[in-house]
Amino acid sequence: MAVMVYTSIYSREAVMTFLQRICGCFEQHGIPYAVVGGYAVALHGATRGTLDIDFIVSLDEKVFLKVEEALLALGFRSRLPITAHEVFMFREEYIKNRNLIAWSFYNPENPMEVVDIIITENLDNFRTVEKNLFNSKLKILSKADLIQMKKKSARPQDLADIAALEKIP
């Protein structure tokens, strides 16, 4: 597994525990999800440094409410003073007029733990695959769909991720 984190104060084990904790909580709450972003790139086998965990979920108000409930139960707080209902109701406004891509949560007990819920994509439009990680099963976006999603974004890091993913058989 090629998950890399470029910081001396956050161990590989802590990163894996963080990822497992969030995915496990989503599973317990019945949240359809997929890991995307740097973690998904790394879980597909490309070396990639990242701290935050990016997810896509179904664009459904009940799912947003479950995400909020799950993350609050783990002690996370929304970076913006908005609720799940508001994110769902005003999602298009936030994307179009406020350039909001993700609904971000952080752990006040450990600010290095950040979870981003990507609000520009709907999980229902993508395929997921399961990856085993230290006796945990995690759902991540398929490699082809991850590449497609990163092509839409086309940021420099996304272009680098695409190049790395395309080298993996």
Q: Give the CA distances from residue 46 to residues 54, 56, 127, in Å, rounded to whole numbers and listed in that order.
A: 16, 20, 19
Q: Buried (b) or exposed (e) across 87-103, using 16+ Cβ within 10 A?
A: bbeebeebeeeeebbbb
Answer whether residue 162 is part of any domain.
no
Answer whether residue 161 is part of any domain.
no
Give me the number of domains the chain comprises. Answer: 1
Look up the CATH number of the domain holding residue 39: 3.30.460.40
Domain enclosing residue 51, as ranges: 3-156
Measured in residues, the chain has a length of 169
Answer whether residue 97 is part of any domain.
yes
Answer whether residue 93 is part of any domain.
yes
For each of the chain's 169 residues, which pLDDT tens digit applies? 444 433 334 455 555 689 999 999 999 999 999 999 999 999 999 988 888 999 999 999 999 999 999 999 999 999 999 999 999 999 999 999 999 999 999 999 999 999 999 999 999 999 999 998 878 889 999 999 999 999 999 899 999 999 999 999 8
* C-alpha torsion 160→163→165→169, nearest 10: -160
Answer whether residue 168 is part of any domain.
no
Note whether 128 and 147 are within 8 A (CB). Answer: no
Note whether 64 and 87 are within 8 A (CB). Answer: yes
- Sequence-separated contacts (24+) of 95-100 with Cβ below 8 Å: 95/119, 95/120
Answer whether residue 27 is part of any domain.
yes
Global pTM reads 0.89
Answer whether residue 163 is part of any domain.
no
Answer whether residue 166 is part of any domain.
no
